[in-house]
Structure 1
Amino acid sequence: MGADQETRGQNRKMLGKLIVIAVMMFGFGYALIPVYKQLCEVLGINVLTQKDGTVELDKNTQVDKSRSITVEFDGNAQGPWRFRPVVSSMQVHPGELATVMYEVVNTQARTVNAQAIPSYAPQSATPHFKKVECFCFKQQTLKPNEARQMPVVFFIDPALPKEVKTITLSYTFFEIAGLDKTAAN
């Protein structure tokens, strides 16, 4: 009986330790987001908004107004829809935040899942084209005959080589088959 009670005591002690560890892990996970946000604010990194929640666009000192870059937009559809940019090109200054809209229309009488993959020309511009918001970040689900306008918010890094005057952003929008069982219904 003594060994059995000793084993029970050890089991209770281990259970207590495991409960404390589980509570600590939950607390750490719960506190991770506010701690990350606070750390980013203190270090001044990954901050897109001011403390009042507004985006400060006019005071961006990183905008290079001495040069303009022509950004051309292209859309290729690989599937049952129409896909195109709303405008074919725009002029932007390096460092300036810009928005372009792409329009997609599902021409099918069924729901489809799709994903857009970007490509850039010239390839040397790829690391300098910075997207803040993009429909290409996640899969899109389009209902039957649905039309949607989707934004791309971007800026061109001022470190873009001076010889690059034009950048082409091209998306290929294609269907992802077999991911949604309700799409076939």
Structure 2
Amino acid sequence: MTMQNTPNHSKMVLKLVAIVIGMFGFGFALVPLYDVFCDITGINGKTSNTASVYQSVEIDESRWVTVEFITRTNTGMPWQFEAKTKRIRVRPGEMNEVAFYVRNPLNRPIVGQAVPSVSPGTAAIYLNKTECFCFNHQPLNGKEEALMPMKFYVDPQLPKDITYFTVQYTLYDVTSSAQEVASNQG
């Protein structure tokens, strides 16, 4: 047997390791790339995390849009969390306010953070929140409860074929990261 017919295993192993490292790096890059893609296209229902300024927008009296509110808590978040208004009919351009109820059943303080999503995703571009509990961390002492407001309007430029959309808030326990931030600032 000659040496030329023997495969070079070390080159093959190096190529496979390089492929695995490249795939691992690409996996990490996907999250920020996906976020940029969603921001540009408005898909996936991501809403802005900053308050919109309500200027006198002309109210579209010719149509109604139904907005449904769904709440859920992430695994490990013990709070009770619910929308006081489950569904509301609004006119595009009209300012509206709804409230969300939270209760911390434990005997210790917890900091919560709500993350919104909208379905269908294209409606997210047209949902303008002027005030929302989702903009900031929400601390609650043990056994404390609160009503958290959300003020919003639907942009009159909302496509006519969208007459119904859902806003879902998922509540996360961010106590440890909030404490970490506070200790780094102090």
Q: Smaller-chain TM-score range?
A: 0.5 to 0.7
Task: Report matched runs for 1:70-109 at 5 Å.
Answer: 70-78=66-74, 79-109=77-107
User: In the aligned structure 2, how far is the partner of 1:88 from the partner of 1:162?
Assistant: 23
| TM-score normalized with structure 2 length | 0.64
1:62 and 2:58 matched: yes
Question: Structure 1: where are the runs of 5+ without partners?
Answer: 1-45, 50-59
What is the CA-CA distance between 1:177 and the residue it aligns to? Answer: 3.6
What is the CA-CA distance between 1:103 and the residue it aligns to? Answer: 0.4
Q: CA RMSD in A?
A: 1.9
User: In the aligned structure 2, how far is the partner of 1:175 from the partner of 1:68?
Assistant: 36
Q: 4+ residue stretches of structure 1 with deviation over 3 A?
A: 46-49
User: In the aligned structure 2, how far is the partner of 1:131 from the partner of 1:47?
Assistant: 8
1:135 and 2:137 matched: no
Partner of 1:11: none
Asked whether the 8 Å contact 2:53–2:130 carries over to 1, the reply is: no
| TM-score normalized with structure 1 length | 0.65
SS at match of 2:139: strand
> Measured at CA, do residues 125 and 61 of structure 1 come closer, stay the same or move farther in structure 2, by a change above 3 Å?
closer
Task: Report matched runs for 1:1-185 at 5 Å.
Answer: 60=56, 62-78=58-74, 79-178=77-176, 179-180=178-179
Give the % identical residues. Answer: 35
